[in-house]
Amino acid sequence: MTVYTAIKTVAKPTGKSIYRIEKDLGFSNGTISKWNKSMPGADSLQAVADYLGTTPQYLLRLAKEDD
């Protein structure tokens, strides 16, 4: 699983789309989807985690599953 997929998994029960998260956090369109192939910066990952009410560590641990 990628960081992008982990974020989608956590966001789904809240009804938040990737687009909405990017818009609310002031990220460029497509920023989070790029995390499908690369690692986000610590500040960006922290912002997304705070937004979703979780921790960056949880998102990274979830992303590491199924590797």
Domain membership of residue 55 as a residue range: 3-64
pLDDT in tens, 3-55: 999 999 999 999 999 999 999 999 999 999 999 999 999 999 999 999 999 99
Res 66 pLDDT > 70:
no
Q: CATH number for the domain including 20?
A: 1.10.260
Q: What is the pTM of this model?
A: 0.91
Question: Which residues, in sequence order, are CB contacts of 16 under 8 Å at separation 6+?
Answer: 51, 52
Count how many domains the chain has. Answer: 1
Give SS3 for 48. Answer: helix
The rounded distance, in Å, linking the Cα atoms of 62 and 17 is 18
For 15, what's the count of Cα atoms within 13 Å in the CB-facing half-sphere?
Answer: 0
Long-range contacts of 28-32 (CB under 8 A, 24+ apart): 32/4, 32/7
pLDDT at 67: 59
Residue 10 near residue 54 (C-beta atoms within 8 A): yes
